[in-house]
């Protein structure tokens, strides 16, 4: 039994394997990369010690205490995600444009009695949202002369009496899965002919995670700041995939082509708490620390599949079409605890440099309370085995060119969540990090300000198009590599009062 190939391929295969909740969900919804205002976005979102920007509240709520006045801000963005896929010696490109909002916020300031500059100087409160994750992506991968088939996985499950209405039943009803009545063994025409078919798979992802925040910050002597916030996460994710295999060389008897489609929709809400502090021991230095509780999600999955086929018999060609049932499933998810340590240098009122270090352990994410009573013991053990702790780094700088014009730049590094080895096998995505490079400009005049930022993100991952059979009786599928580039332009319009 070869569990290792199945495990390393699961990162992108949840809809193929069913609506079962596993480590794929844990990573997808625990891996957040905050995006709020264009000022923060242009500076690598390194705002844990700086404060004074609504993005900072999602990192360190003590940043609310830095505000000296009220503020309203709105941030739309426009982006394009490009994915180049390599599979069986072929390159395929796809892309998707996106226009969304990453921030909407309001901050109010209440001065202490007598406008004192000592003791408790002010109490500030904020309400709004920042985007934590953007799933909107399109990908396509294609290759010829394959040495395996998705039907290998289907036939193996059928032979081990692991029959599902979402997979094996569809292949049976579309005449792709066949039974040898003499040996009582399930088989399929592609394997019988020695493979060589062409394959293509398309992916469409939609949705996002937005965090709605209600926070309060306290300013003591303009030296020490405390903050706390309640975050409510709104989560929606949809994944639609279509896998097609066809006999381009016309060398497989009977079989012409099949398509297998799946649709997974996940929605729900979660909540978390954040506490933070910022200390300014001298005018040029700010130090920050913050802790984030897990986000406690209540989620629902909706899942369905379909299959079509074209088979040529001695008396003509038949086309089949079969749909699965529609499945709903409720469950809970706890994301990992986070801690952020930050520092910032204010350089003679002409510029600043800021650094955040964010620690979390993806192996501590936990699935809970399955709608059928499942406690997810095996899935949570897999999460602990597969994922590791990481240290995310955000670095940013700002230079004040004039009293009204600011130049910014930033860098963000998010290491891979995968252990280098798990389940007695090397993990192919262990070194696939996510990096973002950013630049920005800011302009302010009186109570009005406008900020713009450009962000360029790169990452890569290797995955299977379909699950590898566990038995050595079947060949192992080849992996595809997906190189992703994300270009994003942000604009924040704001007013201070």
pLDDT score, position 20: 60
Residues in a beta bridge with 421: 426
Give the span between the Cα atoms of 26 and 242, in whole angstroms. 24
CA of residue 382 relative to chain centroid, distance? 19
pLDDT tens per residue across span 134-177: 999 999 999 999 999 999 999 999 999 999 999 999 999 999 99
Following CA atoms 130, 132, 136, 142 in sequence, which dihedral angle do they give, to the nearest 10 degrees? 160
Nearest CA to 334 among 299, 382, 386, 372?
299
Look-up: residue for tokens 């620390």?
Answer: 289
Residues of the chain with pLDDT under 50: 1-18
- For 323-392, where are the alpha helices, taking DSSP H only? 377-386
Q: What is the pLDDT of residue 432?
A: 94
Counted residue by residue, the chain has a size of 497
- Helix, strand, coil distribution of the chain in percent, nearest 5: 15, 55, 30
Q: Residue 157: helix, strand or coil by DSSP?
A: helix
**Of 387, 389, 385, 405, nearest in space to 452 by CA:** 405
CB 5 within 8 A of CB 468: yes
Distance CA 449, CA 51 (A): 17
Residue 112 has a pLDDT of 83
Domains and CATH numbers, the chain: 3-496 (2.40.160.60)
CA separation for the pair 288, 319 (Å, rounded): 64
Alpha carbons within 13 A on the beta-carbon side of 311: 18
Query: How open is the CA angle 359-30-35, to the nearest 5 degrees?
Result: 80
Give the DSSP letter of residue 35: B
Which residue in 280, 284, 443 sits closest to 348, CA to CA? Answer: 284
> In sequence order, which residues have a C-beta less than 8 Å from that of residue 18 and are 6 or more positions away?
164, 166, 167, 303
In contact, 148 and 475? CB cutoff 8 Å: yes
Using alpha carbons, list the distances in angstroms from residue 216 to 116, 121, 167, 171, 339. 19, 14, 51, 57, 19
Tell me, what's the pLDDT at 18?
A: 44
Q: CA-to-CA distance for 43 and 26, rounded, in angstroms? A: 29
**Cα 19 from chain centre:** 18
What's the confidence (pLDDT) of residue 4? 44
Spatial CA neighbour of 217 closest among 43, 39, 37, 68: 68
Q: Where are the alpha helices (DSSP H) in 53-194?
A: 54-57, 150-159, 168-173, 189-192
Report the C-alpha gap between 331 and 17 in whole angstroms: 17
pLDDT in tens, 375-389: 999 999 999 999 999
Residue 119: count of CB within 10 angstroms of its CB: 10
């Amino acid at each position: 039994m070869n569990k290792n190939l199945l495990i390393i391929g699961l990162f992108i295969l949840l809809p193929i394997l069913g609506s079962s909740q596993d480590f794929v969900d844990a990573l997808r919804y625990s891996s957040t990369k905050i995006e709020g205002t264009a000022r923060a976005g242009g500076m690598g979102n390194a705002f844990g010690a700086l404060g004074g920007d609504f993005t900072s509240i999602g990192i360190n709520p003590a940043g609310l205490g830095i505000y000296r006045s009220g503020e309203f801000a709105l941030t739309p963005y426009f982006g394009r995600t490009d994915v180049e896929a390599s599979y069986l010696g072929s390159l395929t490109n796809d892309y998707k444009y996106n226009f969304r909002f990453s921030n909407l916020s309001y901050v109010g300031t209440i001065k202490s009695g007598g406008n004192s500059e000592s003791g408790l100087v002010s109490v500030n409160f904020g309400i709004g949202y920042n985007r934590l994750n953007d799933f909107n992506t399109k990908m396509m991968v294609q290759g010829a002369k394959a040495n395996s088939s998705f039907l290998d996985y289907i036939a193996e499950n059928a032979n081990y009496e692991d029959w599902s209405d979402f997979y094996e039943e569809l292949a049976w009803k579309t005449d792709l899965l066949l039974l040898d009545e003499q040996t009582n063994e399930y088989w399929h025409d592609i394997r019988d002919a020695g493979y060589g078919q062409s394959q293509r798979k398309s992916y469409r992802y939609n949705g996002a995670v937005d965090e709605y925040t209600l926070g309060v910050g306290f300013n003591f002597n303009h030296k020490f700041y405390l903050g706390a916030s309640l975050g409510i996460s709104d989560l929606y994710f949809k994944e639609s995939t279509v896998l097609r295999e066809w006999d381009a060389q016309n060398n497989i008897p009977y079989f012409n082509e099949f398509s297998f489609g799946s649709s997974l929709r996940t929605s729900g809400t979660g909540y978390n708490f954040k506490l933070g502090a910022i200390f300014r021991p001298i005018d040029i230095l700010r130090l920050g620390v913050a802790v984030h509780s897990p986000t406690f999600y209540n989620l629902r999955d909706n899942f369905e599949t379909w299959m079509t086929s074209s088979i040529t018999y001695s008396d003509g060609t038949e086309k089949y079409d079969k749909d699965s049932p529609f499945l709903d499933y409720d469950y809970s998810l706890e994301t990992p605890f986070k801690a952020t340590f930050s520092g910032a240098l204010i350089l003679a009122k002409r510029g600043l440099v800021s650094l955040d270090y964010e620690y979390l352990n993806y192996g501590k994410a936990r699935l809970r309370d399955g709608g059928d009573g499942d406690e997810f013991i095996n899935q949570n053990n897999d999460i602990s085995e597969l994922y590791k702790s990481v240290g995310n780094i955000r670095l940013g700088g700002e230079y004040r060119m004039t009293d009204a014009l600011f130049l910014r730049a930033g860098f963000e590094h998010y290491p891979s969540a995968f252990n280098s080895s798990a389940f007695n096998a090397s993990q192919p995505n262990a070194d696939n990090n996510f990096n973002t490079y950013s630049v920005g400009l800011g302009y302010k005049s009186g109570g009005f300000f406008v900020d713009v930022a450009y962000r360029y993100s790169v990452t890569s991952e290797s995955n299977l198009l379909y699950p590898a059979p566990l038995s050595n009786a079947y060949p192992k599928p080849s992996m595809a590599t997906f190189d992703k580039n994300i270009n994003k332009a942000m604009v924040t319009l704001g007013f201070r009062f």
